[in-house]
Amino acid sequence: MADIGHTIESARKGIAVGDFSAREIFDEYQKKIEEKKDLNAYLSTFKFAEHGAYPAREGDLAGVPCAIKDNMLIEGEIATAGSKILENYVSAYDATAIKKLKKAGVSFLGKTNMDEFAMGSSTENSAFGTVKNPLDVSRVPGGSSGGSAAAVAADLCVFALGSDTGGSIRQPAAFCGVVGLKPTYGRVSRHGLIAMASSLDQIGPITKTVADAALVMNAIAGHDIFDSTTVSRDMPDFAINLEKDIKGLRVGVPKEFFGGGLDKEVSAKVLTSIELLREAGATIHEISLPHTEYALAVYYIIMPSEVSANLARFDGIRYGHSSQKGEALLDTYLASRAEGFGAEPKRRIMLGTYALSSGYYDAYYLKAQKVRALIKKDFDEAFRSVDVIVGPTAPTVAFKAGEKSEDPLAMYLSDIYTVPVNLAGLPAISIPCGMGSESNLPVGFQIIGKLFDEGTVLQAAANLERALV
């Protein structure tokens, strides 16, 4: 498993009792980052004077060093989104999640590497080099939040923020043997997150323990006037039920999650974990999510369509890379985008533009939205008889670098178990459930909850985490 190092609890306790200061733990992590720079987990690091602990000294996160995926804005700092087109873009304001962390008094260590504009499942699509999995440097850390997951797994931060559009928090958490939580869509503000697909994106924590994930959620969740998709409702204490048992919890196991394509060693670990939930007092129920088989196809129509619209703003005129080639405005547009975007953004922009074009909108995009509604309905039906749904996070353990980079379809299949959750807007967590018997690499276990029921998801995850020790 990951080199756990400091948790939020141990970091806060150490600062509180005077074992070390916020400055000393910050400097300790900066030294580790430098020592392990070959992992390429960070794109930039900060000085304590610039982004050390903010004035707050109370609360669970005060003085705790964290890392931020480089598609979230921190005022005065470069935000590249892993792309050459934003290589020199300096943020003019703080993302809401960053404002909330500043208020909580965290220390920002730096910005983490990522697939370009969050497009990928391996962090091999970054314009600034591939991230290595700290558990086996010949393998990928997953993506697109691979830098954040690798930083947490290698103890190069206490916790990190990632973003999840189709599994980009949970899948790299699974590959790196750490905890990754995708909140309900609308639970955490997306204001200041560089958009990929606006109806799917969600910010969430990557941590070393389930308890840490709950503490970060307490800090970053909530309604935001700058994001109309956030929901105005009472905010629970996400950590309150972590010690509570799960006797009587109804756990659904979709038969569709255990078909072809699932590695035997992943299946074995996941099934063992389901039995541990049963031993902890949960009841296990086989369920069906019949439209799951269409989720990947639906996702790869809706997501590129939104990508096509969101990335249209990067034209080389207002900000970002501007080509010096060409004599007319259109030449500048074309050259700037050709030079600035990598292969994967170009691929998805073209797919999305095609799906939205005249004559194809009804056949592709509109039909995909209708099937998306059916996928959500499947979950709604299932949650009438169960409290959570469980299964593998990814069909395999971390694969070798370069193994799937020439086959986009094989790469896309890495998200087959996570994509349906984003399409339905549900909360889900990935926790490590052991090491593969042959690969000796971590296996991720996914727990999916009802809308805005992160509390039950975290409670179930905490119980399983204790059972696995």
- 242 has a pLDDT exceeding 60: yes
Higher-scoring residue by pLDDT: 418, 51: 418
Asked if residue 455 belongs to a domain, the reply is: no
Asked whether the beta carbons of 54 and 26 are under 8 A apart, the reply is no
Write down the catalytic residue from 83, 121, 126, 144: 144
Is 103 noted as a catalytic residue in this protein? no
Q: Strand 442-449 vs strand 388-392: parallel, antiparallel, or unpaired? A: antiparallel
Region of 378 (left: φ > 0; alpha: ψ -120 to 50; beta: rest) is: alpha
Residue 50 pLDDT > 70, yes or no? no
Residue 308 placed within a domain? no
Q: What single DSSP character describes residue 281?
A: T
Q: pLDDT tens, 153-186?
A: 999 999 999 999 999 999 999 999 999 999 999 9
The answer to whether residue 15 is domain-embedded is yes
Whether 67 has a pLDDT exceeding 90, the answer reads yes
Identify each DSSP E strand in 126-187 by its residue range: 159-163, 179-182
3-state secondary structure at position 328: coil
Distance CA 444, CA 170 (A): 8
Q: Considering the domain boundaries, does residue 148 fall inside one?
A: yes
Q: Are 152 and 204 in contact (CB under 8 A)?
A: no
- pLDDT tens by residue, 400-458: 999 987 777 778 888 999 999 999 999 999 999 999 989 999 999 999 999 999 999 99
Q: Can you give the pLDDT at residue 47?
A: 93
Q: What is the pLDDT of residue 292?
A: 93
Q: What is the DSSP string of 252-268?
A: EEEGGGGSTT--HHHHH
Is residue 143, in this structure, part of any structural domain at all? yes
Q: State how far the alpha carbon of 255 is from the alpha carbons of 11, 252, 286, 430, in Å.
A: 41, 9, 7, 19
Asked whether residue 21 is assigned to any structural domain, the reply reads yes
Q: Is 64 a domain residue? A: yes
User: Of the listed 69, 99, 100, 269, which one is catalytic?
Assistant: 69
User: What is residue 333's predicted lDDT score, i.e. its pLDDT?
Assistant: 83
The distance of Cα 33 from the centroid of its chain, to the nearest Å, equals 21
Pick 278 or 330 by higher pLDDT. 278
Range of the domain at 188: 8-247
Please state the φ and ψ torsions of residue 462, each to the nearest 5 degrees. Answer: -65, -40
Buried residues in 248-281 as b, exposed as e (16+ CB within 10 A): ebbbbbbebbeeeebbebbbebbeebbebbeebe
Q: What pLDDT does residue 128 have? A: 98
The reported pLDDT for the residue numbered 406 is: 77
Catalytic residue, candidates 122, 145, 163, 168: 168
Q: State the pLDDT at residue 1.
A: 44
H helical segments located in 143-289: 146-153, 170-176, 210-220, 264-279
Does 83 reside within a domain?
A: yes
Domain tally for the chain?
A: 1
Catalytic annotation present for 121: no
- Mean of per-residue pLDDT scores for the chain: 94
pLDDT of residue 290 exceeding 70, the answer is yes
Q: Averaged over 327-331, what is the pLDDT?
A: 83
Assess whether 168 carries a catalytic annotation.
yes
- What are 226-239's pLDDT values in tens digits? 999 999 888 999 99
Q: How far apart are CA 309 and CA 317, in angstroms?
A: 17
Does the pLDDT value for residue 132 go beyond 80? yes
pLDDT bracket for residue 56 (50, 70, 90): low
- Residue 360 — very low, low, confident or very high, per pLDDT cuts 50/70/90? very high
CATH number at residue 99: 3.90.1300.10
Residue type, 307: V
H or E element at residue 307: helix 295-310
